[in-house]
Amino acid sequence: MSGEASLRPEQRLQRRVIAYWLVGGALTTTVLTGLAWFVGRPLLVEHWDKWSSTFDLVLAGACFGLLAITLIEPPLAYARWRYAFLGDLLLMRYGILFVEERAVPVRRMQHVDLVRGPIERLFGLATLVVFTAGNEGSSFRVPGLGVTDAQELRDRIVEARGDGRL
């Protein structure tokens, strides 16, 4: 299978996935930092005699660090994400520090779903979820697809499968 070594996924996600990831991350960050600052901090101040303003600074730094990660991660993830459906393989490459490449043959795919949460619908995006036979990585997601692109990719996978079992 030396030909497979040269297969590289080249299709990009929709650029608006960056805004989608930013909104989702901002919601999560807001909840986590709010809980830390407005629930965790008062409990620690009340029940831990050694609490000092230094710990306030450390907690504030952690909250700002989480915010920084929330703002930096989406554009970096977008820059790395690639996918393609070539022949009977779904190829994906993603990750920031640790880059993962996957080549999933159609014959291992059990079924394919399209997922569109409320924020995804707001941005006109869909996530293709593929369930495969086996234990490790028995499902994976291709996020940030335009709705039409996700439907076409799903239909191509079903067609390549040939038996309508997806």
Q: How many domains does the chain have?
A: 2
Looking at residue 47, its pLDDT comes to: 87
- How far apart are alpha carbons 38 and 91 in whole angstroms? 44
Q: How many residues comprise the chain?
A: 166
Which residues are CB-neighbours of 62 under 8 A, at least 6 positions away? 36
State whether 43 and 108 are in the same domain: no
- The residue out of 77, 98, 124 marking a domain boundary is 77
Domain check: are 73 and 88 in the same one? no
**pTM for the whole structure:** 0.83
Is residue 101 a contact partner of residue 83, using CB atoms and an 8 Å limit? no
User: Containing domain of residue 49, as a range?
Assistant: 17-77
Q: Which residue stretches of the chain have pLDDT < 70?
A: 1-6, 135-137, 163-166
* Cβ atoms of residues 161 and 152 within 8 Å: no
How many helices (DSSP H) and strands (DSSP E) are in the chain? 5, 6
Judge whether 7 lies within some domain. Answer: no
User: Taking a C-beta distance cutoff of 8 angstroms, is the pair 18, 74 a contact?
Assistant: yes
Tokens of 9: 């996924």
Q: In this predicted structure, what is the pLDDT of residue 2?
A: 44
Let me know if residue 111 belongs to a domain.
yes
Compute the distance between CA of residue 67 and CA of residue 48 in angstroms, rounded to an integer. Answer: 27
In a domain, 3, yes or no: no
The CB-side HSE value for 18 (13 A sphere, CA atoms) comes to: 11
> Given this model, what pLDDT does residue 154 score?
93
Q: Which of 59, 36, 165, 60 is nearest to 112 (CA)?
A: 165
